[in-house]
């Protein structure tokens, strides 16, 4: 267990801009009286492990890492809390896209087809959409083929590379459908990865929430409270703060909530842990 000093955050380095983001936040917090530092991890599993080992005070967690922390805490008789999240972390949906010139009209039409997804551990581009399709009666790997685009596994889909490759596979005709978060449908249209009129939405998943700042019982209460206050006080109209919020993809911070993780939790209940899900899907695909 490390000695107390600065309030230490763990974050995953999914993009080079992460250093600039947390350097900027460090300056902001310290200007406002909170001694702050951060540690970067290559993957969320390592970050969750370090959190329970007491090496960090708070974690900037993906939704999957949140559920991992929540379930580990429950098994250990500990408590976990979602402190804050972005305004853009709430009420998201993912889309199942098909080509505009195709004949698929409903989820049931995916039977016997090829569906492209992101990385195995992507909540928005893999786990939630596949669970949604399974709710409709089609089991991945049994009733339809799943094509994974496993870019940067361990980063829980925080990058968009796997989803972009799924979109490209759909346009090439390598697959019949592709799954991705709605915001990337818009981005891929803007950058012409998905030319206007080339695709249409077959279905949307139920709404879900994304990342949050996670603390465990035993975190320094005063520092947690000050961290929360300073986040909620950030204003997009502040020229010193706005670039940080833009890089992190939000306009304002919101209090943390946990009601929006039901869809992902259901996916984990159906497929097991991420490792078990990989084995399940692989076995079904090879059957």
pLDDT tens, N- to C-terminus, the chain (287 residues): 444 689 999 999 988 899 999 999 999 999 999 999 999 999 999 999 999 999 999 999 999 999 999 999 999 999 999 999 999 999 999 999 999 999 999 999 999 999 999 998 899 999 999 999 999 999 999 999 999 998 766 677 666 778 999 999 999 999 999 999 999 999 999 999 999 999 999 999 999 999 999 999 999 999 999 999 999 999 999 999 999 999 999 999 999 999 999 999 999 999 876 555 444 444 444 33
Numbered ranges of CATH 3.40.190.10 in the chain: 7-89+209-256, 94-206+264-286
Residue with tokens 């306009």: 251
Domain 94-206+264-286 has CATH 3.90.1150.10: no
CA distance 70 to 82: 10
DSSP assignment of 216-277 equals ETTS-HHHHHHHHHHHHH--TT-TTTHHHHHHHT-SSEEE---GGGHHHHHHHHHH-SHHHH
Alpha helices in the chain (DSSP H): 17-31, 44-52, 63-76, 128-135, 161-172, 182-190, 221-233, 242-248, 262-271, 274-286
Class at the top of the CATH hierarchy for domain 7-89+209-256: alpha beta
Cβ atoms of residues 120 and 148 within 8 Å: yes
Q: What is the DSSP letter of 107?
A: G
Taking the model in full, what pTM does it have?
0.90
CA distances 58 to 35, 47, 216, 221, Å, are 13, 10, 8, 11
Q: Is 224 exposed, middle or buried (0-12, 13-18, 19+ CB in 10 A)?
A: middle
């Amino acid at each position: 267990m490390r000695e107390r000093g600065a309030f230490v955050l763990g974050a995953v380095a999914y993009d080079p801009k992460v250093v600039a983001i947390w350097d900027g936040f460090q300056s902001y917090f310290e200007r406002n009286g909170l001694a702050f530092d951060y540690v970067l991890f290559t993957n969320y599993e390592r970050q969750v492990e370090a959190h329970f080992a007491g090496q960090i005070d708070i974690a900037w967690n993906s939704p999957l890492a949140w559920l991992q922390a929540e379930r580990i805490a429950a098994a250990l008789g500990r408590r976990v809390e979602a402190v804050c999240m972005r305004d853009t972390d709430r009420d998201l949906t993912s889309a199942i896209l098909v080509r505009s010139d195709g004949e698929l009209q409903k989820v049931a039409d995916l039977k016997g087809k090829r569906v492209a997804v992101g990385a195995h551990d992507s909540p928005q581009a893999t786990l939630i959409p596949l669970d949604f399709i399974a709710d409709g009666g089609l089991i991945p790997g049994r009733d339809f083929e799943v094509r994974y685009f496993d870019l940067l596994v361990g980063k829980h889909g925080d990058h968009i590379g796997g989803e972009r490759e799924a979109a490209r596979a759909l346009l090439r005709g390598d697959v019949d459908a592709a799954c991705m978060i709605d915001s990337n449908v818009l981005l891929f249209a803007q950058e012409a990865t998905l030319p206007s009129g080339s695709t249409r939405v077959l279905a949307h998943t139920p709404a879900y929430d994304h990342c949050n700042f996670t603390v465990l019982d035993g975190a320094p209460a005063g520092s947690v409270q000050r961290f929360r206050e300073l986040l909620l006080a950030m204003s997009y109209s502040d020229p010193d703060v706005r670039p940080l919020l833009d890089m992190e993809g939000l306009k304002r911070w919101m209090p943390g909530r946990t009601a929006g993780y039901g869809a992902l939790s259901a996916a984990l209940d159906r497929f097991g842990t991420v490792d078990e899900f990989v084995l399940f899907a692989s076995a079904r695909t090879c059957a």
